[in-house]
Structure 1
Amino acid sequence: MAGYIEDRWFKKGPDGKRSIPTDRHGQGKRYKVAGIPGVRARSFPDKQLTAAKAWLAQAQTTSARGEFIDPRDGNILLREYVDQYWWPSRTGDPATLETVSRRVRNQILPFLGSSPLRQIKVDTLRQWLKDLEGVISPGTAVTAWGYLNNILDCAVDDERILKNPCRARTIKAPTKPPSKARAWTRERVAAVQAALPLQYRILVDIGAGAGLRHGEALGLSEDDIDFEGGVIHVRRQVRSVAGKLVFSLPKGNKTRTVPMSDYLAARLAEHAAVFPSVTVTLPWKDPRPPTTKVEAKERAPQTHRLLVSNSNASAVRANMWNENYWKRALAAAGVIPEARKVPRKTGTGNRPVYEAAHEHGFHCLRHTYASVQLDSRENPVAVSKWLGHADASITLKVYGHFLPEADGRGRQAMDAWFSNSPDSAPSSPDAPQNLGAITGNSDSLPGEGTALPDSEVAETASELQEEAA
């Protein structure tokens, strides 16, 4: 098998023994392991011949299998690996990349950035998760864990480390506590809307009446509203990328069409009559100067007649609007506490500071729209399409609890089905009613001509017990 150990301090004499000192005798490391295809040579100090032999054997074996990973490649610090290798290879939506960068540099690198890749072990991750407790929310911890997992997966693929400690069986990844989307009452929606400036009240109608996200409502153009067809075309959103506003496709890069109620159509017409649309030009998707013809074409500015704009005839910046108008309206409606007064850094009086209100964001209007649609027994597939979800399973997962009396209607259906069975009454007080009726009558199962075999009955009973447990 290829590979050898070279003694750089002694060479063989006439008798074949290593007894003649070389020119390098006593300088540097004594033993050099080399000659293995695809493996860089490695040196070992004096008195570590045993370690050199072990390294040679392991390198020969793993190299022959094509699985050799040089542990020296894992000496690179996590911060250096992220900056030099992982981050430069990231591609995708600029705003998403901005979020990823912020998460990695705020929640991962301050804790683990100074650790070599090969020294990040399971116990290191346990301590990191403990350090994050109380610093960030569980949901943010889940996101940070996902990014670290991806970084270490890439390090494995780049042959920097042998395995990813995030995938160890003994460590428990952070989980986001279960939460339900909360819809607002009609009274709360009206109270918050009334506390907003007149030119922004239409945003509440758009959110609660059509389920648009905040950025989509801010990017809605007069040309997107089809009064004759009774629909709204959701074609873009306004978002911030690197501190600059841009137009981009809605979330998921999907446009959609939403039915428009007569009430919403009337409110939109009233708003347009009082606050004429403003023509706004913004870059498309990425505000950075293009470096190629393809980028120049993709980022070419677009101009749209926005339904809602700032007093200076520009697009509305969502985060500033939330702080200056939305939270103020929430406080006026009694949804969150009144603002605290904090001295301005410039010394020119005080500024209002409101508590965090993530659970009372503009998205609550979208939840309200979904709740009204589902409560009216609208088809979940249609609601999913109007909300812009990838498929109906997402809609049901997020908003399934808005479906009205789902369990009540199910019980009524089962009662009606059993009441129509000629053998619905048990043969004795101790006889099992439901399972006995199913297995004892060939007509008990809709669409089935024969009773269940004993093996399937046992399997069905077992599944019921597991589900109940």
Structure 2
Amino acid sequence: MAYIRVRETKARTKGRQVKSYVVCWREPVRDEFGAILPGKTIQRTDTFDTEKAAKARLLEVENGLAGAKGIDPSGAKAKANTVLGVYARQYLNSLVGQMEPATIEGYEKLYRTHIAPEFGSKPVATITAADVDRFRAALFAPHPRRSFVTRGKPDPARESATAGTCLVVRSPKTVKHIVGTLKRMLDTAVRDGAISQNPVLPGPRRTTKRRTTTDTRKPFSHRPLTANQVAAVYDWIAASTSNGKGNAVYALAVLFAAHTGVRASELQGLQVQDVTLSDIPGTIGSIRVSRTAIRKSGTWTYGTPKSEASSDRVVPLAPWLADEMREYLNQVHPFAYKIPHAPLFPGRRSRSNFDWAKPVNADNLYDNYLQPATRALGLGSVRFHDLRHTFATMNLSAGEHYMQVSKWLGHSSFVLTLGTYADYINEDETTAPKVGRGRGIVEVAQLRKRDAS
């Protein structure tokens, strides 16, 4: 129930005491998805200077409360007034047992970040195609890059230092993924009979014809680095970072990721026991990728890699990289030969101390080391995932067969490798790979030695 309470203030106008009009009501408490929690309410108030404005707000509140309360939960009207958050929860619950928990958590995070603020508390029947079009357009607009250092908020110091380079644009693939998730949640409402049709309509068809546009932004593209650029990034991180102190351990972690192609979650999940090295210097080593680690709410959760092809795959280490890993495990890592399940690369306890009991955080590694290095070296905006593209392009350019590279990357099919890296595959690489070929590793090792000289 909503009502208006009149208050007399201390202010006076033309000899009369000024009154304020307070609209008071109790509304249901909603969870993080926007769904109503049964039996829980919270007091709300809005203050206005005129009685007319207060009555207009009162009518708006009463209509909203009537829609939220409903009469028959199974009725069409009650279903139409159900907020999107309820169907979002139903959709995510329906994925249990069909997808990996990490994948479901990714959809949940995507909903909380992008969809919930716009549609989470909105009745599904009030969501129109025009609302979705505005939502899609807003996703394409430039926005401040979310920073791990500032917990998602723009960093004023970094933005001023980089002359506004914190503004980034989402790729069409990312926007399609977000809107597609919204569509599937609304499909749940369609099946429940809350709405007759889904307001998420197909996006505008793309054409290959050249179009005149005033948008000067370059289209999104992957930014793989060359062997020389990876070596320069390694040297920059090891010598001097943004705080003036080098970090050889995290420099090696970046170098390792660029020459093994592991994903961020896989790098976090690597343990000492996953590395196989020979006692003879100058020989090839290997790593086994069998787990992932994801940090959520301050707790590390371990799982399996992204696909069947990604699980328990073995990636070779070039002789020079095997030597550096051997030196790292023998001289730097305190638990290399004591605790087999110790993280391969440590987390941070403070700015000057490592936490060897917890894995490295890829977000921290990117924000504090990789990104400052690539910007200082003039390499542009390089993502952490571009290190994985670096591994693929270096090996394919060096002559390694795409089927072998696909296995090392853990792609679900060779078609994905061909579609992503077709420009880097040699024209004569159309037959099956030869056993024991390894030309890509040798070529990369030679480039590394050339950089060091």
Which residue in 2 is equivalent to 1:77? 82
1:148 CA displacement = 0.9
Which residue in 1 is equivalent to 2:265? 215
Which residue in 1 is equivalent to 2:125? 118
Secondary structure at the counterpart of residue 301 of structure 2:
strand
1:395 CA displacement = 0.8
Say how many residue pairs are matched.
295
Taking the aligned partners of 1:182 and 1:84, their CA distance within structure 2 comes to: 36
Deviations 1:151-184 (A, max 9, x none): 1111122222222232x46x53899x96443321
Which residue in 1 is equivalent to 2:314? 257
Which residue in 2 is equivalent to 1:147? 181
CA separation of 1:128 and 1:370: change in aligned 2, threshold 3 A: closer
CA separation of 1:405 and 1:152: change in aligned 2, threshold 3 A: same
Deviations 1:181-210 (A, max 9, x none): 332122211111012211223223322322
Q: In the alignment, is the contact (CA less than 8 A) between 2:330 and 2:336 conserved in 1?
A: no
Give structure 1 regions of 4+ aligned residues with deviation exceeding 6 angstroms.
none
Percent sequence identity is 29
Secondary structure at the counterpart of residue 356 of structure 2:
coil
Which is bigger in relative contact order (C-alpha 8 A, separation at least 6)?
Answer: 2
Question: 1:240 aligned to 2:240?
Answer: no
1:380 CA displacement = 1.2
Indicate which of 406, 417, 424 corresponds to 1:395: 417
1:397 CA displacement = 1.1
Amino acid in structure 1 at the alignment position of 2:377: A
Q: In the alignment, is the contact (CA less than 8 A) between 2:227 and 2:394 conserved in 1?
A: no
Which residue in 2 is equivalent to 1:7? none
Amino acid in structure 2 at the alignment position of 1:172: P
Amino acid in structure 1 at the alignment position of 2:119: L
User: RMSD value over aligned CA atoms?
Assistant: 3.4
Question: 1:328 aligned to 2:372?
Answer: yes
Q: In the alignment, is the contact (CA less than 8 A) between 1:232 and 1:258 conserved in 2?
A: yes
More strand by share: 2
Q: In the alignment, is the contact (CA less than 8 A) between 1:211 and 1:365 conserved in 2?
A: yes
Question: 1:9-408 alignment to 2 at 5 Å?
Answer: 71-82=76-87, 85-91=90-96, 92-134=99-141, 137=170, 138-166=172-200, 168=201, 172=204, 179-196=220-237, 197-228=247-278, 230-252=285-307, 254-278=311-335, 304-310=341-347, 311-314=354-357, 315-335=359-379, 357=381, 360-404=382-426
CA separation of 1:406 and 1:130: change in aligned 2, threshold 3 A: same
Which residue in 2 is equivalent to 1:413? none
Amino acid in structure 2 at the alignment position of 1:305: A
CA separation of 1:173 and 1:245: change in aligned 2, threshold 3 A: farther
Amino acid in structure 2 at the alignment position of 1:247: Y
What runs of 5+ residues in structure 2 fail to find an aligned partner? 1-73, 144-169, 208-217, 238-246, 279-283, 348-353, 431-453
Taking the aligned partners of 1:320 and 1:112, their CA distance within structure 2 comes to: 31
Q: In the alignment, is the contact (CA less than 8 A) between 1:222 and 1:306 conserved in 2?
A: yes
Larger radius of gyration: 1
Which residue in 1 is equivalent to 2:14? none
CA separation of 1:248 and 1:173: change in aligned 2, threshold 3 A: farther
Taking the aligned partners of 1:214 and 1:231, their CA distance within structure 2 comes to: 18
Q: In the alignment, is the contact (CA less than 8 A) between 1:249 and 1:255 conserved in 2?
A: no
Secondary structure at the counterpart of residue 312 of structure 1:
strand
Deviations 1:352-405 (A, max 9, x none): xxxxx4xx1232222222112212332211111110100111111111111236
Amino acid in structure 2 at the alignment position of 1:267: E
What's the TM-score, normalizing by structure 2? 0.57
Q: In the alignment, is the contact (CA less than 8 A) between 1:219 and 1:247 conserved in 2?
A: yes
Amino acid in structure 2 at the alignment position of 1:382: Q
What's the TM-score, normalizing by structure 1? 0.55
Deviations 1:75-109 (A, max 9, x none): 22333533664455453544433432332233223
Q: In the alignment, is the contact (CA less than 8 A) between 1:194 and 1:201 conserved in 2?
A: yes
